[in-house]
Amino acid sequence: MISGPLETEIDGLKQANPGLPYDQLHSFEISNTRMAFAVNQDNPVREITSDKMRAILLGEITDWNQVGGHDLKIRVVQVREGGGVQASIEGALLGGKAVTVPNPIRVQISSQVVKVVEQLPEALGLSQLSIVKNSNTAELNLDHPIEQHLNLVTLGDPSPEMLKVINAARVIASTRLDR
Amino acid sequence: MKLSELRHTIARRQIGVAAKLYWLASLSTLAVAILAAASIHFARVTEDAASRLDQTGFAAVENSGRLQSLLAQHRQIVESAPAEVDRSRLEISQREFIAKSSQLSVLINQLNRGEKADQFSNEFQAQITNEMPALVTAGQQVMFYAYNFAQDNALGAAAEYGKIADDLEDKIHQYRLHQVSVAGATVSALLDSARSLLFWVSISAFAALLLIGPLGLTVTRGVLSRLGRITTYMSRLAQQPLAEEVPSRGDRDELGDMARAVQVFKENGAELFERKMQLEQVNTQLDLALNNMSHGLVMFDSNRKLIICNERYAEMYGLSAELRKPGTELNAILQYLVDRHTFAETPQETFSSINIIAAGHNIQFVKSLSDGRMITITHQSTADGGWVAIHEDITERQKADAYVAHMARHDHLTDLPNRVFFREELDKNLRRLRDGQKFAILCIDLDRFKSVNDSMGHSIGDKLLNLVSARLANCVKEHDFVARLGGDEFAIIQTNVSRLEASGALAGCIIERLSEPYEVDGQQLDIGASIGLAIAPTDGANADQLLKNADLAMYRAKGDGRGSYCFFESEMDASIQARRALELDLRGALAAGQLQLYYQPLVNPKTGEIRCFEALLRWFHPKFGQIPPSKFIPLAEESGLIGPLGQWVLQAACADAVKWPKQLRVSVNLSPIQFKNLNLVKVILSSLASSGLPASRLELEITESLLLEDDAKTIAMLHELRSLGARIVMDDFGTGFSSLNYLRSFPFDKIKIDRSFIKDLSSGDNSTAIVKAIIDLARALNIDVVAEGVETQDQLNRIVAEGCTEVQGNYFSVPKPIKSFEKILRESNGCIELAA
């Protein structure tokens, strides 16, 4: 399963393993979901423009009072290795630039993002809509939402059994994931 | 064997069982001492090894294990912290980290305390002590970074922490191995010590076994078996005397001494046994005597505690077994008796009487019990200050005395006071008599009782007397006194008599009440009563005088026709006394031969032939000469003497008549009183049988008065007599109120015209017509007619002229003894020469 575009993933992989048969990889979209920015319940900021979000993620805006919030330093919470969410945001919002913020908090898995945001009033978590909705955090709405596509990747053409799995995953995703 | 001999024998004894036992016991003690010393030595060695093992080996191994475990927990807390983003959990981990760190420090400090630690251990302890702060510091950094979500830093610090921890774990592992090695060496030393202990114990046990064998044999064979025989003998001896000798008595050792001592005890025991048997016999006899005493016996000591009491005593007072035990306090017994209200007296009296006894007085007194018993208690002090008391139940004796006293003063049949009691009461009333006061004495004699008693038997008579007594008791008032003086004589003292009329009323009431019919055993009985009254003090100043005068008055009443009462009058004294004296004389006349039968012939007036002799009783009084029948016959009838007199007359007349010519009959007069005796028929039969006289030669004369009562029994008796063959003659015919009627009531064989009619024949009055009518009537009824009292020729002629078949009177012969007629009977063939 990949959460970003197949090409982006392959580019990343090629840097580490350049000799693999990347041309035999085929992606099958299972579902698409929306990226979501999680803030602490005590944070009064609920709306933000894509520009300001970009400025935050590029380290240009560092204080919440710059976007109508409390006088607190913004601390971005993200998964340590980046992953599909960060790749989608960087692709859709930062034009391929990497997120560059002072003193970020990096966690192991995406569920820990909202867990940290719940405990830190100054936190800004990069996550998916379904995770944010199921947490005790608030969503900071962006004027232009960012979508994320979830795909299953096969090596070569999928077998009938693979196709059954792909279809089953699509059925499950349609009931579980928020868009 | 005596005790002195026994002592001498013991003194001469050689080395005995005790010396052998002491020697063997000493050897045994020595073996035990060696065993103990070896055991103690190796026990100490074992203890030291165990102590070392405990303090160094096992403890060190245990502590190293605990250290390893604690460090692992410490490490797990620290190394899991970086991945945790939940601050609440991190806070918990932080607290646990601090706690574990503290426990590690404590445990390490404990390791340092070991006194006997070797060099390796000491070095280990020094190293670990030095490294612990670095470990804790690294852990703290991990916890800090994790709490601030600096996972990268936390992971870096955790890596550093891991290095230190790895090093420590390695050191602990090495230390643990070292300590296990040390513990193994210690255990080996412990095993060596145990083996040595086992060896020495085995040696000691073997030695003990070698010693115990002879000891056991000596004890078993030399002591126990012989001792067993002696004790068996003693057991048997304890149960019964034994004639056989004590076993082992000849042995020269301690058991021999014992056997000889038993022999002495046996001989002494036999003597004691014999004495005990004698004592038990005495005790048994004493118990037997005590417990079979009719009296209660109890003995107390000077402390008022029970020494002994017999069963009779306990039974008398219902004492429980607990209270009969020797040593029981007297007060406990008394309290028990008081609680049960045993004594009629008050509790205070009971306890105070005991104080007198306890004071040493020998006294006897009678106690009344609540249940009516009377107990005589005799106290006798004893020399030791106690006392013995004999308790005798005199209740029955007193009852018997009272009964005897009662019977001495009461009539046994009616239970009324008897003559003695009556006299006492009379005297008492006389003594109490005050001026103006009076009381009456009523002497009551039952009329016709003797007849009832003779004819119905004494049983009926006794019952009748009881009924009479009851009626008398109902007639009198509460303060009056009724007594039976004897026979059918009763007497009453009527007190508080103010007027003679009251006494008369009482007498009248009694006569009326006693004259009412009685029913005894289904038979109706009729009697009456005659009562004489005397008034005290008017009619006598003493009891004898009063009784005598009341008795005289009673005789007067009887003489007046019975069924009446009569007050005493001074003039009746003489005549009544004379009559009374005559009655007494009459009672003795028969035995004295003063009575004699005279005979008067009944003659055929035409032929002069004597047909019959009428027997007439004559009494020749030694002082007053011949007493006329008109005087003594009523007396005999009143006194009841008519019965025996009549029987004598019958027997004598029959006895005389049987000697006469066979055509001659004898006529005997029967009183109405005789017919009250139902045995009259038997008396007549007996007279006929004893004399041999045929009944047909016997004529029985009755008077009209017999038939006045129209008694069916009388008529039945007459019929029975007539059926036997005797002839029944109506005497004094014509004088009754309904003479003709009597002829209808019974078929008389003969009637005797009363002499009063014959006497008046010559005077020309109605007598002739009456006589003629009687003769005609008799002829019509086919009844013989006798004219009695014929004294003159004229009377004879007139009678003969009227057709009379028999005559009797002085004209032919005055009554004379039968001897006077012997010549006539013998020489003139029984015919009297007629003057005409």
Q: Supply the pLDDT for residue B444.
A: 95
The residue among A77, A111, A115, A137 with the most chain B CBs within 10 A of its CB, best to mutate, is A115
Contact A99, A78 (CB under 8 A): yes
Contact residues on chain B for A105, CB-CB shorter than 8 A:
149-151
| CA-based nearest residue in chain B for residue A113 | B85
**Distance, in angstroms, between B82 CA and closest chain A CA?**
10
Res B620: pLDDT: 94
Residue A81: closest C-alpha in chain B: B152
Which has more pLDDT, A10 or B223? A10
Partners of residue A105 on adjacent β-strands: A77
Q: Is residue B535 within 8 Å of residue B567, measured between CB atoms?
A: yes
* Of the partner residues B85, B87, B150, the one whose CB lies closest to the CB of residue A112: B85
Is residue B726 within 8 Å of residue B695, measured between CB atoms?
A: yes
CATH number assigned to the domain comprising residue A43:
3.40.190.10
Does A35 fall in a domain?
A: yes
Chain A hits for B86, CB-CB cut-off 8 Å, are 115, 119
d(CA B151, nearest CA chain A) in Å: 7
Contact (CB<8Å) B86/A105: no
Find the distance separating the first CA and the last CA of chain A, reported in whole Å. 18
Token couple for B835 = 């003057």
Q: Is residue A8 part of a domain?
A: no
Q: Which residues of B touch A120 (CB under 8 A)?
A: 149
Q: Is residue B355 within 8 Å of B387, Cβ to Cβ?
A: no
Residues of A with CB under 8 A from a CB of B: 77, 80, 105-108, 112, 115-116, 119-120
Query: How do B296-300 and A147-155 pair as beta strands?
Result: unpaired
Asked whether the beta carbons of residue A107 and residue B86 sit closer than 8 angstroms, the reply is no
Q: Do A108 and B149 touch (CB under 8 A)?
A: no
Among residues A32, A40, A177, the alpha carbon closest in space to that of A119 is found at A40
Lowest-confidence segment of A48-52, A157-161, B203-207 by average pLDDT: B203-207
Which residues in chain A have their CB less than 8 angstroms from residue B85's CB?
Answer: 107, 112, 115-116, 119
Q: What whole-number distance in Å separates Cα of residue B81 and Cα of residue B150?
A: 11
Determine the 3-state secondary structure of B389 from DSSP. strand
Indicate whether A1 belongs to any domain.
no
In a domain? residue A49: yes
Is residue A28 assigned to a domain? yes
Contacts of A116 in chain B (CB under 8 A): 85, 149
DSSP-derived letter for residue B329 is B
CB atoms within 10 A of CB A81: 9
Residue B4: what pLDDT? 58
Q: Are B533 and B540 in contact (CB under 8 A)?
A: no
Asked whether residue A143 is domain-assigned, the answer is yes
Are the C-beta atoms of residues B834 and B815 closer than 8 Å to each other? Answer: no
- B532 sits in which H/E element: strand B528-536
- Residues on chain A touching B152 (C-beta within 8 angstroms): 80, 106
Q: Do A107 and B87 touch (CB under 8 A)?
A: no
CB atoms within 10 A of CB B712: 8
8 Å CB contact of A120 and B149 = yes
Residue B125 confidence (pLDDT) = 82
- How far off is chain A from B98, nearest CA to CA, in Å? 23
Return averaged pLDDT per consecutive 10 residues of chain B, 836 residues in all: 56 62 75 75 75 69 85 90 88 91 85 67 84 89 89 88 91 85 79 78 74 73 78 78 75 79 78 84 85 88 90 90 91 89 85 74 86 90 88 89 89 93 93 89 91 81 94 93 93 90 93 93 90 92 90 84 85 74 86 93 89 94 90 84 91 93 92 85 92 94 79 87 93 73 83 87 76 87 90 88 89 91 75 58
Of the candidates A172, A129, A126, the one whose C-alpha atom is nearest the C-alpha of residue A1 is A172
Instruction: Report the C-alpha gap between B705 and A46 in whole angstroms.
Output: 169
Count the neighbouring beta carbons within 10 Å of the beta carbon of residue B252: 14
Residue B704 amino acid letter: E
Cβ atoms A125, A114 nearer than 8 A = yes
Residues of chain B neighbouring A106 (CB-CB closer than 8 A)? 151-152
Of B83, B87, B151, the CB nearest to A106: B151
Is-contact B652 B613, C-beta < 8 A?
Answer: no
pLDDT of residue B693: 94
Tokens of B148: 């601030």
Whether the Cβ atoms of residue B508 and residue B402 lie closer than 8 Å to each other: no
CB contact under 8 A, B151 and A115: no
Q: Nearest C-alpha of chain A: how many angstroms from B85?
A: 6
What's the domain count of chain A?
Answer: 1
Nearest alpha carbon to residue B721 among B745, B699, B754, B736:
B699
- Give the β-pairing of B489-494 and B439-447: antiparallel
Cβ contact A105–B152 (<8 Å): no
**Alpha-carbon gap, residue B105 to B114, rounded angstroms:** 15
**Residue B829: per-residue pLDDT:** 65
The alpha carbon of residue B86 is apart from the nearest alpha carbon of chain A, in Å, by 7
CB contact under 8 A, B85 and A106: no
Q: How far is B156 from chain A (nearest CA, A)?
A: 14
Most B CBs within 10 A among A73, A107, A137, hence the mutation to make, goes to A107
The Cα–Cα gap between B454 and B457 comes to 6
**A interface test, pick of B149, B151, B155 with most A CB neighbours within 10 Å:** B149
The strand order across the sheet containing B565-567 reads: B481-486, B489-494, B439-447, B528-536, B565-567
Instruction: Please check whether residue A6 lies inside any domain of the structure.
Output: no
Q: In the structure encoding, which two tokens stand for residue B213, read together?
A: 């064998």
Per the model's pLDDT, the better-predicted residue between A2 and B208 turns out to be A2
Amino acid identity, position A152: L
Q: A80 and B83 in contact by Cβ < 8 A?
A: no
**Gap between the Cα atoms of B793 and B786, Å rounded:** 16
- Per the structure block, which two tokens stand in for A75? 């601390």
Q: What is the pLDDT of residue B836?
A: 41
B344 in helix, strand or coil?
A: coil
Q: Is ipTM strictly over 0.90?
A: no
Please indicate, yes or no, whether the overall pTM of this predicted structure exceeds 0.90. no
Higher pLDDT, A150 or B776: B776
| CB distance B534 to B550 below 8 Å | yes
Residue A78: which of B485, B691, B151 has the closest Cα? B151
Residue A37 lies in a domain: yes
Please list, in sequence order, all residues whose beta carbon lies within 8 angstroms of the beta carbon of residue B553, skipping any fewer than 6 positions away: B443, B531, B532, B533, B534, B565, B566, B567, B568, B569, B572
Q: Which residues of B touch A (CB under 8 A)?
A: 83, 85-87, 149-152
Residues comprising chain B, all counted: 836
* Chain A residue closest in CA terms to B84: A112
Chain A to chain B Cβ contacts (< 8 Å): 22
**Where do runs of H (alpha helix) occur along A82-128?**
83-92, 110-119
Q: Chain B residue closest to A114 (CA)?
A: B85
Domain range for A78 is 23-176
Residues of A in contact with B87 (CB under 8 A): 119
Best probe of the A interface among B80, B85, B87, B155, by most A CBs < 10 A, is B85
CB–CB of B583/B795 below 8 Å?
Answer: no
Q: Is the pLDDT of residue A127 over 50?
A: yes
DSSP B705-745: HHHHT--HHHHHHHHHHHHHT-EEEEEEETSSSSHHHHHHH
Cβ <8 Å between A107 and B152: no
Measured between beta carbons, the chain B residues lying within 8 angstroms of A107 are: 85, 149, 151
